[in-house]
Structure 1
Amino acid sequence: MKLHIIALSHKIEPWAQQAVEQFQKRFPADWKLTIKELKPEDRSGGKPVELVLAKEAERIRAAIPAGARVLALDERGERLSSKALAEQLLKWHDASESLYLVIGSADGLDPQFKAQCQGMWRLSDLTLPHALARVLAVEALYRAWSIVVGHPYHRE
């Protein structure tokens, strides 16, 4: 199974990049995690948020192959425990599916794009800065993988 994160952001802070890279290194080759950064739309000139999000959605769609399983990170998404995420990952792995997890820009994600996703996942009820959301998402995926394979990282 290949795990992909698509993130609309400017370069993240070094502490967050270092944390993400540490977790990325821990995944085995058959569960490889990649991150693709897309530049957020320019918000200057008083562009309406709807237009900004629609243009970002176009770039996101172009970065995801047709037929891929896509989850949007969203504050209104489904709450998943680590075990529930692990169960989902195992189902997708057994179906030989790749997962694309999308982290939106400062204004979130286009509503039409979210409606086209196969699901929405919530990391927290809190609003999180982009860098922290990325670190938490990568750690949660690693923890879920560790549960799937029986690695001792996750403890009950």
Structure 2
Amino acid sequence: MHIRLIAVGDRQPAWVDTAFKDYAGRLPRPWKFALQTIATSRRRRHGDSSGARSEECEKILGKLANGERVVMLDERGSQLGSTELASSINDWQSDGRDVCFVIGGPDGLDEHCMARADFTWSLSRLTLPHGLARVVCVEQLYRACTVLEGHPYHRA
């Protein structure tokens, strides 16, 4: 199983890049974890953001592979504890499909993107800046890996 993250927003603060690279570097090599970024679409100052979300969605959908398990990150999704996420990843590994996590743009994900989701995951009921969501996502993937390996990083 290979895992990747598609995230809207190609420029992040240095601390986001540093933290993200640290946790991504800890993930198991067989996962071949990769980050793919999509530029944030231009928004109108006082207009509707649906056009920008739709444009971002088209770019996201264009990067998804057939048969790939798609996990959309959205505040309205299911909240999982770290051990629940580890269990889900273990189940996903069993079916052999690659997994792609998706973080949308500043206005979230378009309904057409959400329709492509095999699972919708909420990191929190809080609204998080996208850079922080990236870091939390990859840290939780690392934590799930340590749970599955019995590594002491996760202390429950």
The TM-score normalised by the length of structure 1 is 0.94
Query: Does residue 27 in structure 1 map to residue 57 in structure 2?
Result: no
How far did residue 39 of structure 1 move? 0.5
User: Match for residue 124 of structure 1?
Assistant: 124
SS of residue in 1 equivalent to 2:121? strand
Measure the CA separation in 1 of the matches of 2:109 and 2:150: 34
On the 8 A contact 2:67/2:97 being kept in 1, the answer is no
Tell me which moved more, 99-108 or 89-98: 89-98
Counterpart check, 1:64 vs 2:64: yes
* Structure 1 match to 2:99: 99
Shift of 1:94: 1.6
RMSD: 1.3
Instruction: Give structure 2 stretches of 5+ with no counterpart.
Output: none
* Percent identity for Structure 1 against Structure 2: 37
Structure 2 residue identity aligned to 1:94 = S
CA distance in 2, matches of 1:155, 1:7: 29
The one-letter code sitting in structure 2 at the alignment partner of 1:25 is G
Task: Please state how far the C-alpha of 1:153 moved relative to its aligned partner.
Answer: 1.2
| CA deviation vs aligned residue, 1:115-139 (integer Å, no higher than 9, x gap) | 2211110001111111111100000
Shift of 1:152: 1.8
Q: 3-state SS of the aligned residue for 1:70?
A: strand
Give the superposition deviation at 1:46. 5.5
2:151 alignment counterpart: 151
SS for the counterpart of 1:11 is: coil
Task: Point out the more displaced range, 105-114 or 47-56.
Answer: 47-56
Structure 1 unaligned spans of 5+ = none
Question: TM-score, normalized by length of structure 2?
Answer: 0.94
Which range moved further: 128-137 or 110-119?
110-119
- Give the letter aligned to residue 69 of structure 2: R
Whichever residue aligns with residue 15 of structure 2, its letter is: W
Point out 4+ residue stretches in structure 1 off by more than 4 angstroms: none
| 1:11-22 matched pairs, under 5 angstroms | 11-22=11-22
Which residue of structure 2 aligns with residue 8 of structure 1? 8
Aligned partner letter, 1:119: F
* TM-superposition CA deviations, 1:3-57 (whole Å, max 9, x none): 1110000311111110010111111211232110101111147653222111111
Q: 1:75 is matched with which residue? A: 75
